[in-house]
C-alpha cells in the first residue's frame, strides 16, 4: 500500500468515526455545510476562524471534536445563560460538561477544578472575565487542554458592533498555551472585523470558513409602521400558539407592548435593563421553558438563549444597524424550521437613532455609527428581494437554497421567502401624490407635523386647520380619495428617501421640503414607493403566511394530535429534570416522531436529534407514549 492510499484510509476512518459519534452522541445522520471540515481541522491541530450564521450549527463544531479528542475543550463565551443551556444539552447527550462564570460559587469552582485535575471533563464553558483570572489560568496550565473555542469572537474587535474589553486578554492564549489550537467562531463579521479577530487572537495560519449568511428557513417581511398595535396583533393572529420575541427600543415601549398583549389574551412578559437581575433571569427561564411564549424586550434579550423553537421575531422599531438586525432575526428558527421575521419602521425611528448619535464623544465612533444607521435605512428602502439585499450587505451573492442548506437551482428567480418575492408588496409610482404632500408642507411654511398635513390633504376640517386658515389652501382636500393612513405612510417614505427631512431646529418632528423635494415639485424627479402590504392581494398575503408556516402545519390532524401528546410528555420530563424542553428534544425531533411513529429503539434512533444517551434516558417513555396513542386512536 502506498503513502497516498494509507492517507486516504486514515481520512475514511476519521470520517467514519466522526459520523458514528455524530449519530450516537448528537442524534444527527449528516453534517450541515462546513461542519465536518471545521471538526477535521481542529482534530488536525489547526487554528480555525469560522463565520457561520446563527442557527448554522456552530456549537457542534467544537462539541464534536471535544468528544473525539483526548483532553478537555475550553469554550470562552460571554453569554452566561447560553452556557448553562448548552451545558445542560451536552450532559443530556452524554458529554461530561461544566461551566464557570460570575455566578459560580467558591465550592462549585473547587468541585469543577477537581474534575479538571482528574481529567473528567470533556467540555468546559467559561466567561471571559473568569478566564482572565490568574487562579483559573493556573488550573488550566496543569490540565490536559485539547483546544480552545472562542464563541462570539466579534466581541474582541473594536470595529464590531458588540465590543467587550475582556475579550482583548484572549490574545494571550496562543502565548500561554502554544501547543493548543484555537478555534474562533462568530455569526456575523465584516471583512474588517474578521481580520481584526484573526490578528487580535494571534491565530496561526487558520483554517478559514465563511459559511453562507443565508437562513433559508426565515421569512423576511418589512412594513412601514403607522399603527403598531394593530399591525402587531394582526401578525400574531397568523402565528397562533407560537413562541416569539418582540423587540422595542425603549423600556417604556417594552412595558406598554407587553401590557397590550396581555390585555388581548396573550401570555407575554417584558424584559429590559431596568429590571432586577433576578427578575430578568426568571423571565428568561420561563421563556426557555415555554411557560411564557412571547417576550417583549430591548435588544439585550435573547443572546444568551439557545431556544430552538422561536417561531417569530418582530422588530417594533428600526434596529441601529444591519448586523444587529441579522443577529436578532437569527434567534428565530434555530431548529431549521420555517419561522417569520417582521420589521416595522417609520421616520420617527430614524430621528430617534440620529438623536442618540449626538451622545458620541468620539467623532470617529459617531461617524461609524451614523454610517451603519444609513446602511440600515438603505436596506429597508432598497427595491427588490429582502434576502438578496441582506446577503449583499455581508458581501455574499444569493444562491437559492433548500431548508437543508443545499443549493436549489430550480428556484433561481427569487428567494420565494420574503414579502417582496411572494408579491405581498411592490413598487409603484407616487410622484403626483408626493407633489401634493410636498405642496402641503411648503404652503404651511414647513412648520407642521405629519398629522396636521394629513388632515389638510384629506380635507378634515379640524379646529387647528380652521384656526390657521389651512382650509383655504389649494391643497386642502386634494388627497381625499385616499386614507389618512396612506398619506402618513407617504410622508414617512419621503422622509426616508431624503425628499423631505425633519426640521432640526424644531422641538417636534416637523417635515420640510429638501432640495430633492423641490426637484419633485418642479417635475424633474420622480418618486416611487413600496405599495403597502395591506393593499396587496389577499392571495399574495396568504402565500406569505403559507411560506413561513411552521413545522406542525405539515402534519395531518392525527399526527398533530400525537405531536401535542409528545410535547406534553417532553414538558413533564423537562420539568422533572429542571431543564428547558428543547434540551430533551426539539420540535423537529417531535415532528419526525409524530410522522414516523417509532415503536422500537432502532426506529427511534432514526429520528433527528435522538442519540444513544437520549435513547437510554427517554426512549422508553416516548415509545410507550406513541404506542398508547396508536392503541387509543
d(CA 76, CA 149): 6
Exposure of 606 by Cβ count < 10 A (0-12 exposed, 13-18 middle, 19+ buried)?
middle
Window from 78-87, 165-174, 185-194, 539-548 with minimum mean pLDDT: 539-548
Per-range mean pLDDT, top range of 299-303, 417-421, 533-537, 543-547 = 417-421
Q: Is residue 515 over pLDDT 80?
A: yes
Quote the pLDDT of residue 564: 92
CB atoms within 10 A of CB 432: 10
Judge if 223 and 203 occupy the same domain: no
Identify whether residues 22 and 149 lie together within a single domain.
Answer: yes
User: Quick one: 205 and 222 in the same domain?
Assistant: no
**Does 77 lie in the same domain as 206?**
yes
Residue 407 shares a structural domain with residue 463: no
Q: In CATH, what number is assigned to the domain containing residue 206?
A: 3.40.50.300
Question: 198 and 277, same structural domain?
Answer: no
Q: Tell me the pLDDT tens digit for each residue of 115-149.
A: 998 899 999 999 888 888 888 888 898 899 999 99
Distances (CA, A) of 198 to 40, 175, 303: 20, 15, 23
Check pLDDT > 50 for residue 421. yes
Claim to verify: residue 225 and residue 205 sit in the same structural domain: no
Pairwise CA distance, residues 109 & 489, whole Å: 57
Residue indicated by cell numbers 379646529: 463
Residues 6+ apart with CB under 8 A from 305: 81, 82, 85, 284, 287, 288, 331
Query: Among the listed ranges 4-13, 24-33, 334-343, 497-506, which one has the minimum average pLDDT value?
Result: 4-13
pTM: 0.76
Instruction: State pLDDT tens for residues 544-556.
Output: 555 555 555 667 8
- Say if 540 falls within a structural domain: no
- Residue 222, C-alpha cell as written in the block: 418589512
Among the ranges given (51-55, 78-82, 142-146, 495-499), the one the predictor scored with the smallest mean pLDDT: 78-82
What does the pLDDT read at residue 8?
A: 41
Please tell me the least confidently modeled range out of 14-28, 215-229, 435-449, 500-514.
500-514
CATH number at residue 607: 1.10.150.80
Show the CA angle centred on residue 78, arms to residues 73 and 81, nearest 5°. Answer: 90
Q: How many domains does the chain have?
A: 4
Domain assignment of residue 301, yes or no: yes
**What pLDDT does residue 260 have?**
97
What is the average per-residue pLDDT within 449-458?
A: 93
Strands laid side by side in the 48-51 sheet: 97-100, 123-126, 72-76, 145-150, 182-186, 48-51, 207-210
Question: For residue 228, is it within any domain?
Answer: yes
- Residue 238's pLDDT is 87
- Tell whether 195 and 315 lie within a shared domain: no
Please check whether residue 537 lies inside any domain of the structure: no
Mean of pLDDT values over 447-471: 93
pLDDT-based confidence at residue 14 (cuts at 50, 70, 90) = confident
Work out the mean pLDDT of the chain and round it to a whole number.
86
Q: For the residues 511-518, what does the mean pLDDT come to? A: 94
* 145 and 82 within one domain: yes
Domain that holds residue 235: 218-411
- Given a cut of 90, whether residue 192 has pLDDT beyond it is no
Class of residue 273 by CB neighbours under 10 A (exposed 0-12, middle 13-18, buried 19+)? exposed
Radius of gyration of the chain (CA): 27
The per-residue pLDDT for 4 is 44
Q: Given pLDDT bands bounded at 50, 70 and 90, which one contains residue 3?
A: very low
Select, from the ranges 5-9, 210-214, 328-332, 619-623, the one with the highest average predicted confidence (pLDDT): 619-623
Residue 7: the pLDDT is 40
The domain boundary residue, chosen from 210, 234, 261? 210
Q: Higher model confidence: residue 475 or residue 356?
A: 475
Given a cut of 50, whether residue 281 has pLDDT beyond it is yes
Domain boundary among 210, 244, 266: 210
The stretch 325-335 carries a mean pLDDT of 88
pLDDT mean over 262-275: 93
Sheet holding 339-345, edge to edge: 218-224, 339-345, 310-315, 243-247, 294-297, 268-271
Distance CA 273, CA 258 (A): 15
Q: Is residue 520 pLDDT above 90, yes or no?
A: yes
Residue 111 has pLDDT above 60, yes or no: yes
40, with CB counted inside 10 A (0-12, 13-18, 19+), is middle
| CB-CB neighbours of 286 under 10 Å | 15
Domain boundary among 175, 193, 210: 210
Please indicate, yes or no, if residue 5 is contained in any of the structural domains. Answer: no
Q: How many CB atoms lie within 10 A of CB 424?
A: 24
Q: Pick 76 or 345 by higher pLDDT.
A: 76
Instruction: Tell me if 285 is assigned to some domain.
Output: yes
Same domain, 226 and 140: no
Which secondary structure element, helix H or strand E, spans residue 621, and what is its range?
A: helix 612-632
In a domain, 11, yes or no: no
Which tens digits make up the pLDDT trace of 355-414?
788 778 788 888 888 888 888 988 887 778 899 999 988 888 887 765 555 555 544 456
Per-residue pLDDT at 540 exceeds 60: no
pLDDT over 70 (residue 541): no
In a domain, 229, yes or no: yes
Q: In the chain, what percentage of residues exceed pLDDT 70?
A: 90
pLDDT of residue 316: 95
Where does the pLDDT of residue 535 fall: very low under 50, low under 70, confident under 90, or very high at 90 and above?
very low
* Shared domain check, 353 and 230: yes
Angle between helices 431-443 and 515-522 (to 10 degrees): 120
Residues 402 and 445 in one domain: no
Amino acid at each position: 500500500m502506498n503513502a497516498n492510499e494509507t492517507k486516504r484510509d486514515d481520512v475514511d476512518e476519521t470520517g467514519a468515526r466522526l459520523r458514528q459519534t455524530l449519530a450516537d452522541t448528537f442524534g444527527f445522520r449528516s453534517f450541515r455545510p462546513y461542519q465536518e471540515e471545521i471538526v477535521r481541522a481542529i482534530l488536525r491541530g489547526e487554528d480555525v476562524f469560522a463565520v457561520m450564521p446563527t442557527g448554522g450549527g456552530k456549537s457542534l463544531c467544537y462539541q464534536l471534536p471535544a468528544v473525539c479528542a483526548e483532553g478537555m475543550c475550553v469554550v470562552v463565551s460571554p453569554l452566561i445563560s447560553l452556557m448553562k443551556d448548552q451545558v445542560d444539552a451536552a450532559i443530556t447527550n452524554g458529554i461530561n460538561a461544566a461551566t464557570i462564570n460570575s455566578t459560580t460559587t467558591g465550592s462549585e469552582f473547587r468541585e469543577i477544578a477537581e474534575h479538571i485535575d482528574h481529567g473528567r471533563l470533556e467540555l468546559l464553558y467559561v466567561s471571559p472575565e473568569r478566564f482572565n483570572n490568574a487562579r483559573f489560568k493556573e488550573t488550566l496550565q496543569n490540565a490536559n487542554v485539547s483546544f480552545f473555542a472562542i464563541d462570539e469572537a466579534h466581541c474582541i474587535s473594536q470595529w464590531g458592533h458588540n465590543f467587550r474589553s475582556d475579550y482583548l486578554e484572549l490574545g494571550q492564549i496562543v502565548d500561554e498555551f502554544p501547543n493548543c489550537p484555537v478555534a474562533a467562531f462568530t455569526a456575523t463579521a465584516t471583512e474588517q472585523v474578521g481580520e481584526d479577530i484573526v490578528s487580535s487572537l494571534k491565530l496561526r495560519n487558520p483554517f478559514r470558513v465563511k459559511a453562507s449568511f443565508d437562513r433559508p428557513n426565515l421569512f423576511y417581511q418589512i412594513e412601514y409602521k403607522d399603527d403598531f398595535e394593530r399591525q402587531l396583533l394582526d401578525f400574531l393572529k397568523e402565528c397562533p400558539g407560537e413562541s416569539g420575541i418582540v423587540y422595542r427600543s425603549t423600556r417604556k415601549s417594552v412595558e406598554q407592548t407587553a401590557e397590550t398583549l396581555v390585555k388581548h389574551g396573550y401570555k407575554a412578559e417584558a424584559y429590559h435593563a431596568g429590571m432586577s437581575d433576578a427578575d430578568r433571569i426568571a423571565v428568561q427561564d420561563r421563556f426557555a421553558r415555554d411557560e411564557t411564549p412571547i417576550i417583549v424586550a430591548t435588544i439585550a434579550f435573547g443572546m444568551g438563549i439557545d431556544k430552538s423553537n422561536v417561531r417569530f421575531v418582530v422588530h417594533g422599531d428600526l434596529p441601529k444597524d444591519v448586523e444587529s438586525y441579522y443577529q436578532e432575526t437569527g434567534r428565530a428558527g434555530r431548529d431549521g424550521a420555517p419561522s417569520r421575521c417582521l420589521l416595522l419602521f417609520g421616520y420617527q425611528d430614524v430621528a430617534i437613532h440620529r438623536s442618540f448619535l449626538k451622545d458620541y464623544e468620539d467623532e470617529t465612533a459617531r461617524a461609524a455609527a451614523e454610517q451603519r444607521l444609513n446602511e440600515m435605512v438603505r436596506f429597508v428602502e432598497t427595491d427588490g428581494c429582502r434576502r438578496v439585499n441582506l446577503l449583499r450587505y455581508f458581501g455574499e451573492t444569493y444562491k437559492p437554497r433548500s431548508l437543508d442548506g443545499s443549493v436549489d437551482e430550480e428556484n433561481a428567480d427569487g428567494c420565494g421567502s420574503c414579502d417582496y418575492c411572494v408579491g405581498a408588496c411592490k413598487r409603484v409610482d407616487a410622484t403626483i401624490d408626493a407633489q401634493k404632500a410636498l405642496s402641503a408642507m411648503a404652503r404651511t411654511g414647513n412648520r407642521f407635523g405629519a398629522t396636521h398635513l394629513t388632515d389638510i390633504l384629506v380635507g378634515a376640517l379640524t379646529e387647528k386647520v380652521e384656526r390657521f386658515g389651512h382650509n383655504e389652501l389649494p391643497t386642502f382636500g386634494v388627497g381625499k380619495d385616499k386614507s389618512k393612513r396612506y398619506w402618513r405612510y407617504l410622508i414617512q417614505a419621503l422622509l426616508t428617501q431624503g425628499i423631505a427631512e425633519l426640521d432640526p431646529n424644531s422641538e417636534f418632528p416637523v417635515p420640510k421640503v429638501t432640495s430633492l423635494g423641490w426637484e419633485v415639485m418642479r417635475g424633474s424627479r420622480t418618486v416611487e414607493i413600496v405599495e403597502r402590504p395591506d393593499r396587496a392581494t389577499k392571495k399574495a398575503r396568504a402565500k406569505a403566511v403559507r411560506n413561513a408556516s411552521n413545522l406542525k402545519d405539515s402534519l395531518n390532524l392525527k399526527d398533530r394530535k400525537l405531536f401535542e401528546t409528545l410535547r406534553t410528555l417532553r414538558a413533564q420530563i423537562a420539568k422533572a429534570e429542571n431543564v428547558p424542553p428543547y434540551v430533551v428534544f426539539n420540535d423537529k425531533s417531535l415532528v419526525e416522531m409524530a410522522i414516523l411513529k417509532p415503536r422500537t429503539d432502532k426506529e427511534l434512533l432514526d429520528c433527528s436529534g435522538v442519540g444513544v444517551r437520549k435513547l437510554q434516558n427517554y426512549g422508553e417513555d416516548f415509545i410507550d407514549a406513541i404506542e398508547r396513542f396508536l392503541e387509543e386512536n
